[in-house]
Homo-oligomer: A and B are copies of this chain.
């Protein structure tokens, strides 16, 4: 099954059949546009406790979605953090109430360029306003209002999810008890903007893109989107991991074919990444979300000084990076930690030794999981979420 390009009126939307949606708003965007109503699609796991103090907001990355722990309704694959969620698990659904919503600009049910513009009755396409990480966070804040949750116990996420975590802590410090930004940065680097631009240009170079109006033309820029995904995917892995996993191994053959087929396993793997991605993701969403990442610059939002973003913050932070992550290298996390230290914030910082690259936050990395567990347990104790323990905050 492919992502439905445009939904039949009154039809059942497979993307949101297994999750909740609500009409919220108005939402004033950073670009100045006001969206009177937005749809937010989200999934929860566990139960909100009586004093609504056990909510964890999980922020997804560029191509993630609200299906954190259960199978993806389009691909059928397990949720992107499913190994960490469940009763007695790291994100213990007996203790916590997990919320994961599709970001603004996404393509899994939350308002974005693939959805219908109420003004025109047609998909927004490039008519959708350009959004920011701050806008994504404000949409999530509307959802929390809707759910009656004043303060999150924790907000956690990796990569672009980590940008949202930082934005939450900076813009809504009273609504966050603990923050876990993972494998992320307080601003997108020149190199990362460059990779984002390559992806966008690949999409826009596809004649089936039609200036973003492919729905009207009955086309889909699958080829461009696949190339964008392939280029991005390389940045999610590390050179040592690629070497270990693929090296120069050939794909189901003894010798090279002297042709342009996927002789090497790495080629076959990348092509597969491209071709499966386009089944579940919208090309315009890819443009908007990568743009939001490019625009993210928390220091610039606070007078050019990152520490200003966290002045007097009551939030307790745990910042995590991975040694082989070259997309969001440790130095980016260190800059966040320096800024937090400069305002005497409560922060711990752990660099996890891993050869898995940026994607380590999505993979089986025991030291990383131990770190998450330790921080969550400590914060839960302080928040009075451990049974039989005293509450000190």
Interface residues of A (CB under 8 A from B): 30-32, 126, 129-130, 187-191, 193-195, 197-198, 200-202, 204-207, 223-224, 226-227, 230-231, 234, 237, 239, 242-243, 245-248, 256, 258-260, 262-264, 266-267, 270-271, 274, 287, 291, 294-295, 297, 300, 326, 329
Contact = CB atoms under 8 A, between A and B. Distances in A.
B223 A205 contact: yes
Contact of A201 (B129, B130, B274): B274
Nearest to A267: B197
A195 B227 contact: no
A291 B264 CA distance: 11
Contacts of A191: 234, 237, 239, 242-243
6 contacts: A32-B258, A197-B262, A200-B260, A201-B270, A231-B231, A239-B329
A198 B270 contact: yes
Contacts of A291: 260
Nearest to A246: B190
A113 to B, nearest CB: 11
A188 B231 contact: no
A270 B200 CA distance: 12
Nearest to A29: B258
Contacts of A130: 258-260
Q: List 9 tightest A-B contacts by C-beta distance, closest first.
A: A205-B223, A31-B258, A130-B258, A190-B242, A190-B246, A197-B267, A190-B266, A191-B239, A198-B231
Contacts of A267: 193-194, 197
Contact of A234 (B195, B202, B259): B195
A224 B230 CA distance: 14
Contacts of A30: 258
A235 to B, nearest CB: 9
Contacts of A202: 202, 205, 227
A297 to B, nearest CB: 6
Contacts of A205: 202, 205-206, 223-224, 226-227
A14 B190 CA distance: 37
Contact of A256 (B197, B227, B287, B295): B295
A16 to B, nearest CB: 27
